[in-house]
Homo-oligomer: A and B are copies of this chain.
């Protein structure tokens, strides 16, 4: 391992696993208002969030090895509650709390970290822990 590390510009895709794509679309598309990029019925739906793409997969489908020799995407798939955090500034977080509550999404936690950054936590319909936090949390 002699080479210098090539550049990585950040995370391009973050994945979560869900059990119901329609329910996932209601949350990520309708409540969060993310732009849908593409969808394969029964398998996945992808959304754009800033420079990152959020991939929502049905794990029992993505664990099946592909037979497409031209696009040999490796299998993957997890069970249980995953975690994803969206970046939103302090003013936006006030709006997000209202938006989520008016959509009937329970607020599981809402607090400030020692450095003053606020985080709001909810569950997506599959039970994944979804956070909305001020980027200064990691500044």
Contacts and interface: CB of A to CB of B under 8 A. Distances in A.
Number of chain A interface residues as a range: 35 or more
A82 B15 contact: yes
Contact of A9 (B2, B7, B50): B50
A1 to B, nearest CB: 4
Contacts of A53: 85, 138
Contacts of A108: 74
- Quick one: which of A4, A30, A73, A77 has the most chain B CB within 10 A? A73
Interface in A7-39: 7-15, 17, 30-34, 37
A135 B1 CA distance: 26
A6 B76 contact: no
B52 A10 contact: yes
Contacts of A94: 6
